[in-house]
Structures are given as structure tokens and as C-alpha cells.
Chain A
Amino acid sequence: MPVTVKTFQAVGEAASALSSDRGARYLGGGTLVMRDLNEGDVSIVTVIRATDRALQGIDAAGARIRIGAGVTFARVLAERDLGFLHPAARSIGGPAVRNMGTVGGNLFAPAPFGDFTVALLALDGMVSLQGGFGLRDMPLEEFLQSRDRQAGALAVGVSCIRPASTDAFRYRKIARIKPKGGSVITLAAHLPQSGGRVTGARIALGSMAPTAVRAKAAERALEGRPLDAAAISAAAAAAGEGTAPADNSLASAWYRREVVGVHLRRLLSGQES
């Protein structure tokens, strides 16, 4: 069924249009909205676009980096300063999908997709949202918990911390078809250490709930301890706590709960999957 396409130059105008039309969906790279249109989703009446260059910006100069919501994964991969995010960007789709899919769109991708968001969640991600009320920043975790109610808000960018060292951030996507398949489980861990002990660990999991979630019990198991076999075992044992995976064609919920600890142990131990 034909839809009305509205293209705006300014993000604010696009956000206003989005918030005032219950049948409107914002089109980033198209990999989510166009798929829904192809499947005949009649709830989409209007497609909103914005060509604002602010959506394309990358600021990787400081300790906290900022990426515009319209930045594609191909562009992330082309930025040397974003090297710590390259494994997450590369784990999404093939080149054509990475030329289209955007960082902002990934925030809305349902499980078993949304892998880049898992990495951002482990790196203390923040989302900049433009709504009818103006611009506001929201912790990514809070955004994901209320994502279904954010339909009228336009994500204009994300930010995350830059890990202090290469070893401090680890990412792994478990997929049956590599590298483009949907995720069985996606894991990301930010493990800052001080005096040989983990301080402020953040572990994020994908495909273990409808959105990316933090494995807080596993984080607690690591806190203040050296990253040794005992701490890793405790974290692995707690990995599935608080998760709610779903059955899908890639894996059953039971399987995901059974193996999440195994993959977290491997990630934390630095083992190959």
C-alpha cells in the first residue's frame, strides 16, 4: 500500500512530524522500515526522513565519542579512531547492509538483531533524542527499557566511552552463519582495571531479551576482583540471571540460557569462540 514520504532538512522538523503522526515511522538506512513495508505492515502510513548533516557527524576526539544516528556501519569501519567498535560493526550483515544500516536504526532493531547496540550498552552508551520538547540525552539502558514508548522521539546520535585499552573492551557475536546471520547471543564487556582489579565492569548481552540488556549479576561477580579463573567462573555462572531470551529459528530460549555462561567465560578468558 502506498505511503506518504516526507523529507525534512532539519532534524527538529522531522521530529515534530514524527511525534504528531501515530502512523509515522522514521527511515534511517531502510533496513528495518523497508523490510516492514515489504512485508505489508499497514500500520506505517507515513515515512519520515531527514537530510540534516548533523545526523552524519562523528566526533571521536575526546574520551567520550559521539556518532550521529545517520552514520552507517561502513562509515564506522572507515574511521580509524573508532577501531574498538569495528568488530561490532563488522559483525552486522554483508557490505550492502553495512552501506545502508545506521547506528541510530540499530537502536530499534529487535532481537536477534541490534548487535551494535550491545557494544554501545557495554560502553556506557547515551542516546540523544529529539522530540517535540527539544533535545535530551538518555542513558541507553533506560532508552532500551522504554523503547516501545519512544516511537515519537527521533534518535539523533549516540555517545559512548572510549575504552582505556584494547584489552578493556571485548565483543563477540555468536551466529550460525558468519558474519551476516542473526545473533544466537551477542556479548560485549567493558572491563576497566585498577590495581589489577576490575572496577566498573559493564557486560551487555544481545538476543537474551527483546532488547540488549546488561548482565548485572555477572558484573557484580567481577567487581573488585582480579580477572582470574575464580572471578570468571562466578561471572559465567551468573550470566543468565535476569535474562528472558526468546525461541526463534536460530536457537531456542533454553539453548541460549544454557550456553550464555559458556560464551561469557570464553570472552572473559580471551579464548577463541
Chain B
Amino acid sequence: MAKTPLQFRHNGRDVALFVEGGSNLLVVLREMVGDTTPKFGCGQGGCGACTVLIDGDAHLSCLTLAETVEGRAVETLDGIKNGPNLHPLQRAFADGFAAQCGYCTPGMLMAAKALLDKVAQPSREQVVEAISGNICRCTGYEPIINAVLAAAASLRASA
């Protein structure tokens, strides 16, 4: 079966490749682009581990048909740090012990970034809502919520 050409921006860099029909974005990112920061969790849209930003909005890469990101901007955890410096969200997660086994963390961080990119001073309820599609099986939600609020404060202070 013929492969389909696909071009999109991946963390600010243009990517051009050929994908098999029906491939999901998660597979393309992990196996073809080499970006393993989005994780495969359930493959059903239930866990949020594969969350990426597409044109700034949170999407589940496991349920995104690769062809639908043609010409669009895809942002993953791999792209959020600034050179050698961690993004304030990453710093807050590390400082606040918000990563336990860590498997949900990339998706949590991207879901949180989608919120903080739009809302500089989110309420606790807004943070809970933002990560409501992301499951943490270590049940470490409280440190995660606190870390997102701390990162928001840090971003405001540095603005």
C-alpha cells in the first residue's frame, strides 16, 4: 500500500516523511521522528499519557490520524525546555515531587502547558479541570496540582 507524504512542524522544526495510511500521530512521533516523550498508555483516549499540543490545543496523539496534522504545529514535551534549562513546569514537578513512577508525567506536563499558555493565573479548579483527562496510577494528583500552580506563579514572576 502506498505511503502518504506528511509535513508538519515538530517543536518548531519542519518534518517531512511518508506515513502508512491510518497511522496515528503517536506512532509517527515515537517511531519515525524519534521523539519518545509522548507515551503510549491505553490507546483508547482514556489515560492522557500521549497528550501533545496541536496548534496550541491539547490532543491525544494516539487518537490523532497522522494525516490530520499536515501543515500544523505539533508540540511535545521534548520541545518545551529552553536549551539546557528546564521549563518552569518541569522544574516545579521536580521540586514538588510531582513525578512518582513518571509515566503519566509527559502527558500531565503538556496538559498543564495547554492551560498555562492561555491562563496565566489559573485557579486550583482550573488546574484540576486541565488535567482531568490524564490518569496517574500512582495517585499523586495533589503534588501535580500544586506543581502546576507553582509553575504558574514562577512564569508570572519571570514575565
Contacts and interface: CB of A to CB of B under 8 A. Distances in A.
Interface of A: 1-5, 7, 27, 29-31, 34-35, 37-39, 44, 47, 49, 74, 93-97, 99-100, 179-180
Interface string B1-36: 100100000000000000011111000000000000
A66 B11 CA distance: 37
Contacts, number: 93
Contacts of A47: 21-22, 65
Contacts of A38: 24, 43-44, 62-63
A39 B64 contact: no
B4 A96 contact: no
A93 B22 contact: no
B43 A30 contact: no
A38 B64 CA distance: 11
A95 B133 contact: yes
Contacts of A99: 57-59
Interface residues of B, number: 32
A35 B63 contact: yes
Given A3-B21, A7-B67, A97 B45 contact: yes
A37 B23 CA distance: 9
B149 interface: no
Contact of B22 (A3, A31, A39, A96): A3
Given A2-B20, A34-B62, A99-B58, A93 B133 contact: yes
B21 to A, nearest CB: 5
A30 B133 contact: no
A95 B4 CA distance: 29
A31 B59 contact: no
Nearest to A30: B63
B65 A5 contact: yes
Contact of A95 (B22, B43, B129): B129
Nearest to A33: B65
Contacts of A39: 43-44
The 4 A-B residue pairs whose C-beta atoms are closest, nearest first, are A94-B133, A3-B22, A38-B43, A96-B58
B21 A5 contact: yes
B131 interface: yes
Interface string B41-66: 00111101001000001111011110
A97 B48 CA distance: 9
B64 A100 contact: yes
A1 B134 CA distance: 28
Given A35-B45, A37-B24, A47-B21, 11 more contacts: A2-B1, A2-B22, A30-B63, A30-B65, A34-B62, A44-B22, A49-B65, A100-B45, A100-B60, A100-B63, A100-B64
Contact of B132 (A4, A30, A180): A180
A97 B21 contact: no
A94 B57 contact: no
Nearest to A51: B68
B9 to A, nearest CB: 18
A5 B45 CA distance: 21
